Amino acid sequence: MPIAPPFAAATHTLRRGDIFSLKIWLCDENAVNCRRICDDNGGTLSHKAQRTMYIHEREHWTDFRWDASRISLLQETICRKQGMLYGRLGTLGFDSKVRAMAENLTYDVVCSSEIEGVQLNVDQVRSSIARKLGLEQVKQTAPSHYVDSVVSVMLEAVQHYDRPLSKDRLCAWQAAFFPSGFSEGSRIEVGRYRTHEEHIVSGMFGREKIHYIAPSPRRVEEEMQKFLAWFESSEPESSIVRSAIAHFWFVSIHPFEDGNGRLARILSDMLLARGEQSPLRFYNISSQINKDKSRYYDILECTQRGDGDLTEWIVWYMQKLVAALDEAEAVVTTILNKSFFWHRVSSTPLTPRQTAMLNLFLDGYEAKITSKNWAALAKCSKDTALRDIQDLVSKNLLVEDVPGAKRPSYSIVYDADNLTQFFTHVSIVEKDGTPYLHALYKGRKNVCARLLSLDAERYQKGELPLQNLLSKYCAYLMGNSIN
């Protein structure tokens, strides 16, 4: 018989007239307790529904199972995309790989925090990661102590993925998330497992909805010992499946008062890194979860009320990994194009300001290249900006999008050749709100490139010529493994 949760210790106070969403199973063993609770609260609380059983209340609850037939194709897709991604990364030099990793970790940290409602400054995170990885030519923005702490946790986890996971290591990471000992204005337990009941609740006061009640604090130590032993074991499952299980298992124990979600996603990344045996991380699931937070919480809640079948959770998790790998492909394309450009113009004399501005746009800064934007970003006069641009046009590094336009905009010339002669069947297709360029290269290679929304919009309005669009997103195809 499953253990009923300790109602008397619940953080939700039962009051007369409450709409209490926690359902109560009525059975011979707990009916007396149910009546006692109602009597203690004035005898007016009615049982309109029955109590939900949470997964951890089941005997042997961590004997998870799943339908292998439903995940096998997804696992093959992930492995294939991992191979393609690392194949493309193989054409990059070490510095370029580190830059790709830095960009990935930036959005991993930012999105993982955003899922929990914590907004971090992207420039601060990027600057902190760049400094810790020894990268130059990155916009320097002084990060806060908190941002530095969060970044340090992520880097420590992925760069030392092969170190054993321990209680002390987890507690240190959790403490780094809350250096002041407060979360959203309230003091919390930091650097240790929680010592009180933990309810996952949403809704306004008096109309709360309880989504999940975690195991009681007296069980946390034992549950975490079991989890840590499994984490360090050599189970036969793939690292992809283990990554999904670790995520679900950890948040279901909910060992800390706060920070559990962020830690679960870090642990997922660690297991993926162990599977790939590499400290370099080029894709992350946090950015994809952040785009679909509602479904993330729904499927967690559903699975936490289930009987140990993790099939739906693992399928959803793998689908997000597929999307994360597609996202990583776009980042690698940007880096490859940037490498191709600088290889072509390596002997061209440029001022430091011109180099910095070109790097900004080569890295995917979403704005038109105009004298006004150049002046604002470079913090120079409009006349100086115009001289910079005209000099780059004369060197065939920039080209006007629409010759003779009253307010001209410019595109970077990645390749001197007109790329339109190599591409056919060009179209722009939107998927999940993101525009993609589809084309056939030299009649044999299908190309799919994620576009900046501004570029897709300008192309469709006739403000960005096809040649300039192809040059920006597909020039790397003209190179031969240029680093």
Going by C-alpha positions, the residue among 152, 156, 100, 113 that lies closest to residue 129 is 152
Kindly give the residue spans of alpha helices, DSSP state H, lying in 116-190.
Answer: 122-133, 145-159, 167-177
Q: What is the pLDDT of residues 314-324, one digit of tens each?
A: 999 999 999 99
Q: How many CB atoms lie within 10 A of CB 66?
A: 19
Rg (CA), the chain: 27
Give the start-to-end residue ranges of the domains of the chain: 60-335, 346-478
Q: What is d(CA 358, CA 351) in angstroms, rounded to the nearest whole number?
A: 11
Q: Tens digit of pLDDT per residue, the chain (483 long)?
A: 333 333 333 333 333 233 333 333 333 333 333 333 333 444 443 443 445 789 999 999 999 999 999 999 999 999 999 998 988 888 778 888 888 888 888 888 999 888 888 888 888 888 888 888 888 755 556 667 788 888 899 999 989 999 999 999 999 999 999 988 888 778 999 999 999 998 888 877 777 788 999 999 999 999 999 999 999 998 778 999 999 999 999 999 999 999 999 999 999 999 999 999 988 888 998 989 998 999 999 999 999 999 999 999 999 999 999 999 988 888 888 888 988 899 899 999 999 999 999 999 998 889 999 999 999 999 999 999 999 999 999 999 999 999 999 999 999 999 888 899 999 999 999 987 889 999 999 999 899 888 999 999 999 999 999 999 999 999 988 874 444
CATH pick for 346-478 out of 3.40.50.1980, 1.10.10.10, 1.10.3720.10, 1.10.287.1080: 1.10.10.10
Q: How buried is 216 (Cβ within 10 angstroms: 0-12 exposed, 13-18 middle, 19+ buried)?
A: middle
User: In the CATH hierarchy, which fold is given to the domain comprising 60-335?
Assistant: Fic-like fold (1.10.3290)
Domains 60-335 and 346-478 fall in the same CATH topology: no
